[in-house]
Amino acid sequence: MSKARILAALGLATAMMLGVGSANAASVKLGVAAEPYPPFSVKDAAGKWTGWEMEIGLAVCKAAKLECEFKEVAWDGIIASLNSKKIDVIWSSMSITPERKKSIDFTDKYYNTPANVIGVKAQAMTASGEGLKGKIVGVQVSTIHQRYAEKYFKPHAKEIKVYQTQDEANQDLAAGRVDALLADSITLDDFLKTDPGKCCDVKGSVKDDPEILGAGVGGGVRKKDGDLKAKLNAGIAAVRASGEYDTITKKYFSFDIYGPK
């Protein structure tokens, strides 16, 4: 082989190696719903995503030796964004449910909190269908809470009102346009601590339904991305074992949100 051809072959091999390196170094895109979901995800004045879930996500990526970045997507299209490869992981408080597992896979859970009903203080109600008889109940679209409300509350409630964002639902509750909301206990508790939230209080937690409410929150991944799932699971286990999970959690909560072991 001539010297020129040897050099050309070496150049091609080097280019191929660099290509592989670039692919391996590409950032893993963690998809987060564009709507803030405090205290899990909040965008600061500079446009940077912060919050408990963001900190945990970056800690998991670091432990898994992955370069990660957050990418905003619409919540009601977040699974489609994953399967069309616009993002690599759903990292946005998505509950692990049998229905969702038909189209995507999940990492191990990284938190698990109950679903609560909150409502106007002056109104007597409970977190059940009968307890919400004649009430207007607000839920966020494409959530486990919407499915739960439609199954258990709709036969009794005056109306199940669906919102694009939890913030819009919170605003309508404070304005008296709905009587109650069903959502994750943590994000509702965060709302109740605000001035608009002083209108309302917790009416109770709903009874469990694993088929709808799932088995905690995990990272959503494509079914064929077993290697990425394994790395993220190792990262979750590492931040739990090292105590970093608890250190981050104590900045936001006074209790353990991991749920049953």
Residue 3 within any structural domain of the chain: no
- Dihedral of the CA atoms 154, 118, 48, 34 (nearest 10)? 10
28 and 99 both lie in a single domain: yes
- Which residue bears the tokens 């005056």? 158
> What is the tens place of the pLDDT at every residue in 61-92?
999 999 999 999 999 999 999 999 999 999 99
pTM of this structure: 0.77
119 and 203 both lie in a single domain: yes
161 and 237 both lie in a single domain: no
The pLDDT value recorded for residue 4 is 44
Residue 261's pLDDT band (boundaries 50, 70, 90)? low
Residue of 237, 234, 227, 233 whose CA lies nearest to 23:
227
64 and 96 both lie in a single domain: yes
136 and 194 both lie in a single domain: yes
> What is the tens place of the pLDDT at every residue in 7-23?
444 444 433 333 333 33
Using only C-alpha atoms, the chain has a radius of gyration, in whole angstroms, of 22
pLDDT surpasses 50 at 5: no
Per the CB < 8 A criterion, the answer to whether 50 and 251 are in contact is no
What end-to-end distance do the CA atoms of the chain give, in Å?
A: 64
The pLDDT value recorded for residue 12 is 40
Q: Which amino acid is at 261?
A: K
Segment 119-129 shows an average pLDDT of 96
The CATH number assigned to the domain holding 119 equals: 3.40.190.10
Domain range enclosing 132: 115-213
